[in-house]
Amino acid sequence: MTITHDRLDATFAALADPTRRAIVARLARGDATVNELAEPFAMTLPGISKHLKVLERCGLISRTRQAQFRPCHLEAGGLDSAVSWIEENRRIWSERFDKLDEHLRDIQTATASTKGRARR
């Protein structure tokens, strides 16, 4: 993986805040300006801007430089590294249990065949 620890730190930290998650969820539905994003929250524009800067720094959103409008755009690819990290560790974890299941089945088969021979 080429993703640095810093990038994963920043992405997970960005997602650890409910307002930032709500902004990501809003932008998943379509681009929006800072004013549009601020509307549903009881927050000042500078407050929302601070959250946008956090999301922008970790590459989760981008902003065009169109004068005062500057619509925010979700860079959904920014979520890839976070999902990859989680999925990779869930895969390793579940493979461990698959192996344990396999091992238990082998033991059961061996026990059954030993019992079979003993009965004959």
Q: Which residues bind its own copies (CB under 8 A)?
A: 5, 8-10, 12-13, 15-18, 21, 24-25, 28-30, 74, 76, 79, 82-83, 85-87, 89-90, 92-94, 96
Residue with smaller CB distance to its own copies, 21 or 70? 21
Measured over all CA atoms, what is the biggest interatomic distance in the chain, rounded to whole angstroms? 89
Other C-beta atoms lying within 10 Å of the C-beta of residue 117: 8
Q: How far is the CB of 84 from its own copies (least distance, A)?
A: 10
Residue with smaller CB distance to its own copies, 99 or 109? 99
Q: How far is the CB of 92 from its own copies (least distance, A)?
A: 4
Strands, E assignment, 1-107: 61-63, 72-74
Strands, E assignment, 39-97: 61-63, 72-74
Q: How far is the CB of 26 from its own copies (least distance, A)?
A: 10
Cα separation of 87 and 85, whole Å? 6
Q: How far is the CB of 80 from its own copies (least distance, A)?
A: 9
Strands, E assignment, the chain: 61-63, 72-74
Residue with smaller CB distance to its own copies, 92 or 118? 92
Please state at what angle helix 5-15 crosses helix 18-28, rounded to 10 degrees: 90
Residue with smaller CB distance to its own copies, 13 or 112? 13
